[in-house]
Amino acid sequence: MQAKLHSTRIGEGPTVVLLHGLFGSGSNLGALARSLQDRYSVHSVDLPSHGRSDWLQQMDLHNMAQCLGEWMTHHDLADACLVGHSLGGKVAMQLALSAPQRVRALVVADIAPVVYDPQHDGVFAALQAVAAMRCTSRQAATQAMAKTIDDPGVVQFLLTSLRRGEDGVYRWRFDAEGIFRDYYRLREAPAAVGAFAGPVQFIKGGDSAYIQERHRPHILALFPQAQLKVMPGCGHWLHAQQPRLFNSLVGRFIDAHSS
């Protein structure tokens, strides 16, 4: 096994696996997990090099999807409905394309199967500043990050992955150096030999630029059964900005394709 993945589980029923985005952890989709637990066995997974999961020597979509497949085998999960946000959506797409028999249905939140330009320079600068300062308080870390991150919501999101060591110094729970090193690989499109013929729903934040009209041919070439839903009035963090609508869209789709 390349990396042992940490996960939590709630509920009983058909299997649903939730995958968070870059710099996050399994708890990020907690509201969705709770909305599904009355009828599904919901596993919230920390991606490799994130949360409490092991770190990879090289992060790329293929290796991360392979880790997810190995985690499924370890937990005796033959297949599952996958829900992935951002990077988690890319990993879910990669598993569907590499091992389609393992994916019963797929929900991809605000990401497309395309190459993206760099857009996290401010975040990386903030992560490095916090590490260099050896912050001993969350307030100091917050102030350090605010110098290069304009959005307070992003700062608060990153703070959820800051953990205090026995020496009193706060450190990142995810592999910040590894993510920076392999960032170009994580921006790549999923690799495919053929298309995934199963049911797929893409959900786009209406104010987000992550899924664009010009991406439609790429989506349909790899996922010919794909549907697209748009959530007006929210951006890339659609699951946090409008959780009730997001949970409803995901729940209805999974209900239709879980058996």
Pairwise CA distance, residues 21 & 5, whole Å:
15
Same domain, 106 and 204: yes
In a domain? residue 135:
yes
Q: Which domain holds residue 160?
A: 121-181
Residue 1 counted as domain residue: no
Based on the fold, state whether residues 94 and 211 are members of the same structural domain. yes
Same domain, 113 and 126: no
DSSP 35-66: HHTTTSEEEEEPPTTSTTSPPPSS--HHHHHH
Kindly state whether residues 86 and 194 are assigned to the same domain: yes
In a domain, 2, yes or no: no
Overall number of domains in the chain:
2
Which of 239, 217, 215, 202 has the alpha carbon at shortest distance from 20?
239
The verdict on 176 and 195 lying in the same domain is no
Residue 86 annotated among the catalytic residues of the structure: yes
Specify whether 236 is catalytic: yes
Claim to verify: residue 224 and residue 104 sit in the same structural domain: yes
pLDDT for the residue numbered 2: 72
* Residues 27 and 147 placed together within one structural domain of the fold: no
SS3 category, 216: helix
What are the C-alpha distances in Å from 168 to residues 87, 134, 182?
Answer: 31, 9, 29
Catalytic residue among 86, 98, 161, 208: 86
Q: Are 137 and 46 members of one domain? A: no
The reported pTM is: 0.96
Do residues 33 and 113 share a domain?
yes
Out of 164, 181, 198, pick the residue that ends a domain: 181
Same domain, 125 and 94: no
Last residue of a domain, one of 155, 181, 207: 181
Give long-range contacts, CB 8 A cutoff, 24+ apart: 211-214: 211/110, 211/111, 211/112, 212/112
Residues 164, 207: one domain?
A: no
Q: Report the chain's terminal Cα–Cα distance, integer Å.
A: 29
CATH of the domain at 71: 3.40.50.1820
91 shares a domain with 16: yes
Q: Final residue of a domain: which of 133, 160, 181?
A: 181
- Could you list the pLDDT tens digit for every one of the 259 residues in the chain? 578 999 999 999 999 999 999 999 999 999 999 999 999 999 999 999 999 999 999 999 999 999 999 999 999 999 999 999 999 999 999 999 999 999 999 999 999 999 999 999 999 999 999 999 999 999 999 999 999 999 998 999 999 999 999 999 999 999 999 999 999 999 999 999 899 999 999 999 999 999 999 999 999 999 999 999 999 999 999 999 999 999 999 999 999 998 7
